[in-house]
Amino acid sequence: MIIGKRLLLFFGTNMAVLALFTIVLHLLGIDSYLVDEHGIRYQTLLVVAVFFGFGGSFLSLMLSKKIAIHAMRVRVIERPNSELEAWLLRTVGNLSRQAGITTPEVGVYESADPNAFATGPNKNSSLVAVSTGLLRTMPRDQVEAVLAHEVSHCANGDMVTLALMQGVLNTFVIFISRVIGITVDRVVFRNTRGVGLGYIVVTLAAQFALGILASIILAAFSRRREFRADSGAAKLVGPRPMAAALDSLRRVSTPAAMPESMRAFGIRGGTQGLLASLLRSHPPLEDRIARLRNAGG
C-alpha cells in the first residue's frame, strides 16, 4: 500500500501456517525423526525446515489475494457501476500497459481511511484496491499517482520477492526453533526418547519469538521496496503528483481504519514506538515525499 497492509497480512498468514505445520508435524510423528540416540539429525532437520519454510511462504502468497478480498471486503469491479469506476479500470489498464504487465483486477472497499493496496501471487495475477475514503478526498491526478504506486508494486514483483525472502527467514525460524525445542526437551525435561510435550511448547514459543525477529528484517526490506514503488510511480505519472498524493495522506489525522492484519498492504502506514517502528512496512511519509521532490528537481 501507499501506507501499509501488504506485510502484516502476509506475515500473519505465514505465522499461522507455520504454527499449523508445527502441530501437524508433531501429531504425525515426523518430529521424532529429527532426533536419535546421538542427538539432533541436523541434515534431516534442514530438509524439513526448507520444505516447510518455503511451503508456508508460498502458500501465504497463493492465498494473498483471496485473503485480502475477504479481510477488506473488497468489491472487485467486473462491470463499472459509475463513471468513476470506469475511470479506475481505464487508469489501471493504461498504467499496467506502460509498466508492461497484465492489468490487475481492480476493487473498491468501504473505509473512511484514504488508502490503497496491491497484492497477488505474481505480477500478472494481481489485485489493486482503493478505499472509498481515498476516492472521496483526493483529486484524480493524485488517485492516479496512488494507482501508479500500486501498479509499480505489481510490476516489481514485490509479493514474490517478499515470499522468497520470507521462505529463507522461515527456514531459519523453523531450524533454530526446533534446535531450541529439542535441546530444552532433553536438558530441562530430561526426555531422552523422541520428543515430548515440552518440545512442542518450547518450539512454538521460540518460533513466535524468532518470527518477530524475522518480521523486523522483512519490514526493513519492505521499506526499501516502498521507495522503489514510489520511484516507479514517478516514472509513470511524474514525481509531483506522487509527492502531492503522499502529502495529502500525511495531512490526514484520522487513524488508519484498516484491520491490523492488513496494515502492511497499504500505501500509508504510521506506527509509533521502537518495536512498532522496526515492524513498520513503510518509511515515514516525510522521507518519501523528500525523495520524490528531490528527484523532481
How confident is the model over 254-271, as a mean pLDDT? 47
pLDDT for the residue 20:
82
DSSP structural state of residue 255: P
Exposure string of 13-26, with b = 16+ CB inside 10 Å and e = fewer, is bbbebbeebbeebb
Q: Describe the chain by its helix, strand, coil percentages, rounded to 5.
A: 70, 10, 25
CA 167 to chain centre: 13
Which one has a higher pLDDT value, 44 or 273?
44
Cα–Cα distance, 263 to 115 (Å, whole number): 10
Q: Is 150 tagged catalytic?
A: yes
Find the catalytic residue in 105, 144, 150, 226: 150
Exposure string of 42-72, with b = 16+ CB inside 10 Å and e = fewer, is eeebeebbbebbbebbbbbbebbbebbbebb
**Which of 3-12, 138-147, 277-286 has the least mean pLDDT?**
3-12
Residue 117 has pLDDT above 60, yes or no: yes
Contacts from 211-218 at CB under 8 Å and sequence distance 24+? 211/11, 211/15, 211/18, 211/173, 212/279, 214/166, 214/169, 214/170, 214/172, 214/173, 215/7, 215/11, 215/279, 216/278, 216/279, 217/169, 218/7, 218/11, 218/162, 218/165, 218/166, 218/169
**Which of 105-114, 135-144, 257-266 has the least mean pLDDT?**
257-266
What is the value of pTM for the model shown?
0.82
CB 122 within 8 A of CB 61: no
- Average pLDDT of the chain, as a whole number: 86
Q: What is the pLDDT of residues 178-192, one digit of tens each?
A: 999 989 988 888 877
Model confidence at 247, pLDDT cuts 50, 70, 90, reads very high
Model confidence at 65, pLDDT cuts 50, 70, 90, reads very high
Q: What is the pLDDT of residues 71-105, one digit of tens each?
A: 899 999 999 999 999 999 999 999 999 999 999 99
Longest Cα–Cα distance in the chain? 71
CA distances from 231 to 128, 138, 159, 164, 239 (A): 18, 20, 17, 23, 8
Cα–Cα distance, 128 to 105 (Å, whole number): 6
